[in-house]
Amino acid sequence: MEVFRISKLIRARDLSGFGASLKGQRWNRRGTSVLYTASHRSLALLEVLVHLGEYYPQDEYAIITLEVPDNEITLLDATSLPNDWARIFEAGILASYTDEWFHTEQSIALGVPSAIVAQEYNYLINPLHPNFFDIKIKHIEPFTFDERFFKDVID
């Protein structure tokens, strides 16, 4: 399965998940390395935009296409989540739903619903999984943000 990630070009080959471990994110606790990816390029863009806010990105960016073996993907049962899960922003609160997956190493990737588009999935990738190196970087391409997203900032 192909998954997608948008990052600064200088970090395009960094699959360590270190950045997410610094503060923790929605699905991981502080200190737990994880690589956040998306099921579609457009979802990867939305996930980046929601975190940029009004900041216009000055750095060079890339869109990275990764190939994850289909048999190494597990889906989180979204019905097990609280009804308001998409509005829980504090880092690590939802990690109780992913902790077991991290520690049991049942798969390289875990599909979790996107808080932006609940019908689509983001894929958490565990860089410490023993089969992590089965993931392949298929493409790294330059990515430019459409300035219309930032028209109030640029003008």
Report yes or no on 86 lying in a domain. yes
Q: How many domains does the chain have?
A: 1
Report yes or no on 19 lying in a domain. yes
Query: Which residues span the domain enclosing 21?
Result: 2-149
- Lookup result for tokens 């308001």: 84
- What's the whole-model pTM score? 0.89
Report yes or no on 155 lying in a domain. no
User: By percentage, how much of the chain surpasses pLDDT 70?
Assistant: 89
pLDDT higher for 73 or 90?
73
What is the reported pLDDT for 118?
85
User: By percentage, how much of the chain surpasses pLDDT 90?
Assistant: 57
Spell out the residues 6+ positions from residue 40 whose beta carbon is closer than 8 angstroms to its own: 4, 120
Classify residue 35 as exposed, middle or buried by CB count within 10 Å of its CB (0-12, 13-18, 19+). buried
- 114 vs 19: CA distance, rounded Å: 19
Tokens of 92: 């690590």
Report yes or no on 154 lying in a domain. no
How many Cβ atoms sit within 10 Å of the Cβ of residue 91? Answer: 17
